[in-house]
């Protein structure tokens, strides 16, 4: 208790120097919490968007299919396995046929992927209902990014050329019946969605599929011969890797910020030891142990962290609360990067994040305060009272 009273008195006596240290430390609290909360919010939104728009409850890949190897797309398809037929009939699994193709918007050629899907599917948020349109042309669903790149609008026609399973090339007209807006660029950029039965006919692959998307309701995916099941751990690893990379980059800023704040505390404590050498020598001469004197200076430094946390709470809680509610708008360039990112990221500030950040800053400040305080242990009381310090 005595150490706390003396530490508080010393901080109060330091005046402006104390408040400068506290303000810098409060910035460290708020910036670290914001950045990590932003990444946590992005991770949560990206996961939810991929589940809603792309992967459902997990995806079965045909054993010959690899989306990262374009040479496997032509042959990576087959009849859905019998183990999944019941789920498909109950609308708990959705087959998708993927084929390479090219389109010619405004006379330019662009390679794309044709994705055949049932217009009545309900597993994904894709607005596939317009694909049921009864027209001579192939009804096509595209995303806003794809529309921007190709200059296509709803109602426009475009030539599509493809190669079927017999290596025969063919071409026909397609009509854009719907332009969707999605945060998941994987179902947008370079993708055209068409009715499953039309694409199967075009590819001469009646009843076949490339992937089968499970409903999130299925918690125990059955084994399927000739098909490989990919769970969330596999399908979301790229998003996790990207966010981890961003987190590592942000850590450099955290370390630098903590270093600067710690340096300010260190210099402040060194100056305090130098300026108050007579006071320290008198306390030791009167019987106070060096350990207790060191404790006073260490507590004094730790109180910078406590005051900084209180100051950060004053402006940080309303500021971060507003960001969590209204979101952080992303620049337009992020929409063309081919990653899963929303127009607004809503940061996620958990109790664990706030408590963990507070603990890290408090421990850092306490350690930095203890280092210069150790010098007190080498003080000679007589020399200190005379104003000398070695």
Residues 138 and 177 sit within 8 Å (Cβ to Cβ): no
- Let me know whether 30 and 78 are in one domain: no
Domain boundary among 205, 230, 255: 230
Residue-averaged pLDDT of the chain: 84
Q: In which domain, by residue range, is 358 found?
A: 2-51+238-385
Q: Return the pLDDT at 142.
A: 96
Residues 33 and 316 sit within 8 Å (Cβ to Cβ): yes
Residues 3 and 292 sit within 8 Å (Cβ to Cβ): yes
Locate 240 and state its tokens.
Answer: 């996790």
- Let me know whether 221 and 86 are in one domain: yes
Q: Which helix (H) or strand (E) holds 166?
A: none
Q: Look-up: residue for tokens 């203890």?
A: 370
Residue 96 — very low, low, confident or very high, per pLDDT cuts 50/70/90? Answer: very high
195 Rama sector, left if φ>0, alpha if ψ -120 to 50, beta otherwise: beta
pLDDT in tens, 37-85: 888 888 888 889 999 999 999 999 999 998 888 888 888 999 999 999 9
Closest of 45, 28, 40, 27 to residue 350, by C-alpha: 40
- First-to-last alpha carbon distance for the chain, in angstroms, is 30
Locate 105 and state its tokens.
Answer: 């918007």
> For residue 283, is it within any domain?
yes
> 3-class DSSP state for residue 31?
helix
Span 227-255, average pLDDT: 82
- Let me know whether 211 and 306 are in one domain: no
Q: Return the pLDDT at 376.
A: 64
- Let me know whether 158 and 200 are in one domain: yes
- Let me know whether 193 and 98 are in one domain: yes
- Let me know whether 207 and 242 are in one domain: no
- Let me know whether 242 and 135 are in one domain: no
Span 250-266, average pLDDT: 74
Count up the domains in the chain and report the number: 2
Position 214 pLDDT exceeds 90: yes
- Let me know whether 85 and 216 are in one domain: yes
Domain boundary among 203, 230, 257: 230
> For residue 390, is it within any domain?
no
**Strand 110-117 relative to strand 191-195, pairing:** parallel
Domain boundary among 202, 230, 258: 230
- Other CB atoms within 10 Å distance of the CB of residue 221: 18
């Amino acid at each position: 208790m005595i150490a706390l009273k003396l530490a508080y008195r010393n901080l109060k006596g330091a005046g402006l120097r104390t408040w400068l240290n506290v303000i810098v430390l409060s910035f460290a609290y708020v910036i670290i919490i914001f950045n990590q909360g932003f990444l946590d919010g992005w991770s949560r939104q990206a996961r939810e968007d991929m589940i809603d728009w792309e992967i459902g409850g997990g995806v079965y890949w045909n054993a010959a299919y690899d989306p990262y190897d374009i040479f496997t797309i032509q042959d990576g398809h087959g009849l859905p396995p019998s183990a999944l037929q019941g789920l498909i009939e109950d609308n708990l699994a959705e087959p998708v046929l993927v084929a390479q193709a090219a389109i010619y918007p405004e006379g330019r050629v662009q390679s794309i992927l044709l994705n055949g899907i049932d217009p009545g599917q309900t597993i994904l948020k894709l607005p596939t209902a317009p694909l049921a349109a009864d027209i001579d042309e192939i009804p096509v669903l595209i995303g806003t990014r794809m529309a921007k790149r190709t200059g296509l609008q709803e109602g426009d026609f475009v030539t599509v050329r493809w190669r079927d399973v017999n290596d025969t090339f063919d071409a026909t007209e397609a009509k854009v019946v719907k332009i969707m807006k999605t945060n998941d660029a994987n179902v947008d950029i370079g993708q055209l969605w068409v009715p499953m039965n039309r694409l199967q006919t075009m590819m001469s692959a009646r009843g076949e599929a490339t992937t089968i998307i499970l409903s999130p309701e299925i918690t125990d995916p059955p084994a399927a011969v000739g098909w490989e099941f990919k769970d969330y751990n596999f399908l979301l690893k790229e998003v996790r890797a990207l966010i981890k990379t961003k987190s590592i980059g942000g850590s450099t800023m955290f370390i630098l910020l903590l270093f600067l704040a710690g340096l300010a505390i260190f210099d402040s404590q060194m100056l305090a030891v130098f300026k108050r050498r007579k006071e320290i020598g008198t306390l030791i001469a009167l019987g106070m142990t060096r350990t207790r004197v060191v404790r006073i200076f260490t507590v004094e430094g730790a109180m910078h962290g406590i005051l900084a946390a209180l100051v950060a709470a004053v402006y940080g809680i309303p500021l971060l609360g507003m960001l969590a509610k209204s979101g952080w708008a992303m620049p337009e360039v992020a929409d063309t990067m081919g990653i899963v990112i929303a127009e607004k990221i809503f940061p996620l500030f958990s109790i664990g994040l706030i408590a963990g950040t507070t603990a890290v800053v408090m421990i850092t400040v306490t350690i930095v305060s203890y280092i210069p305080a150790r010098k007190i242990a080498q003080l000679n009381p007589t020399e200190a009272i005379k104003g000398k310090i070695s």
